Structures are given as C-alpha cells and as structure tokens.
Copies of this chain bind each other. A is one copy, B any other.
C-alpha cells in the first residue's frame, strides 16, 4: 500500500499512543518511531507536542460532533413538530450511538474513542480543556433537550444525573479496547452493539429514577 503522507502518519501514531499510554506517558520519539518519521517532523508540521494533541483530537471530534448535533436536532425538531416533548431515550441515543458507531469508521478510530473516553478524567488540563471545549455545545443541546423530556427534574438533579451518564459512558469507551474487569471467573463482555444498547437502557432508567 502507498504509505500516507507524513502528517497523517504522525496523527495516526500519536492517536494510538496517546490512547494507549496517555499524553504525558507518550514521547515524541515513540510517536515518530512508530510513524517511521524523523523526530523533528512533529515540531515542523504541528509546532509542539501540545498542538499535536489538539490536532489529533480535532481531526476526529469535529465530524463526530457534527453527526451528534444533527441527530440531536432532528429529535428535537420532530418533537416540536409533534407538539410533544422529546423522549429521553431518543436524545441519549442521538448522543451516545454516534460515538461508538464512530469506532467502526476506521482502524485508528477505536484508539481515538479510548482517548476521549479518558479525557474527562485526565489530570492534565491540556487534554481535558481541549476536549471540554469541543463537546460543550453538544452537551448544552443535550441538557436542554433532556430538560424538556424530564421536566419534573430540577436543573441540579438533571445535571448531576447527566454527570453520572457521562461517567458510565466514558468508562465504557475506555474499557472497550481494554476490558476493565475482564478476569477469570467473570463472564465475557458483551459485543459492542449490545453494550451500547445496554448503556442506553441503563442511563435512561437512571435519568428517570424517582426523586
């Protein structure tokens, strides 16, 4: 196969290593070694390691968020057209499903999913801030939609439960490439599609829990 150009090779390698080892635990030499590219190429093409991380995240998250935004808005518009509040399940589906469907979109995509799954709990601001900035508009949309779907919940409670939802979701995203508690004596983990369906059922029930 004709090998991709330098920038792409760097992005692919960085994505894989950032996801597997974390940002600070990944070295420029590791990245350029895996990409079979000169060490200086990263600083030449991206400027710095931080800027490379930003590029890695943005490359994937911009189209992903676009899909999420479209799906969310479709749900909201259909509900408005029907003169009914949107259903919590549909909103969550619009938010969650694209994230994991995205994983099938290419060989490196699953690494990326693990990377952003861990982003929220990253200690380092570099990763976290970059990710939050990208996902905040979508999150606001989801929040507003769920507010209509579950009007009996106060803002505080809804936000709290949404945090739990994000926790369960990001945990699954991390665990996908590396099962967190897959040990002898425990059953095999579910397939991806079933896992997503289970997650949606789980957080739906959680969000709709009685106050």
A161 interfacial contact with B, CB 8 Å: yes
Q: Which residues of the other chain, B, contact A169 by a CB distance below 8 angstroms? A: 167
Name the one of B160, B190, B198, B206 contacting A205, with C-beta atoms under 8 angstroms. Answer: B206
A187 touches B171 (CB 8 A): no
Copies of this chain held together in the complex: 2
A79 interfacial contact with B, CB 8 Å: no
Name the one of B122, B156, B170 contacting A190, with C-beta atoms under 8 angstroms. Answer: B156
| Residue in B closest to A123 when the chains form the complex, CB atoms | B22
A20 touches B163 (CB 8 A): no
Question: Could you tell me which residues of chain A, from 133 to 177, have a CB within 8 Å of some CB in chain B?
Answer: 136, 139-140, 143, 154-157, 159-161, 163-172, 174-175
A164 touches B168 (CB 8 A): yes
What are 6 A-B residue pairs whose CB atoms fall within 8 Å in the complex?
A24-B24, A157-B198, A164-B198, A164-B202, A168-B206, A201-B206
Chain A residues in the interface with B (C-beta under 8 A): 20-22, 24-25, 117-118, 120-124, 132, 136, 139-140, 143, 154-157, 159-161, 163-172, 174-175, 180-181, 183, 185-190, 195, 198-199, 201-210
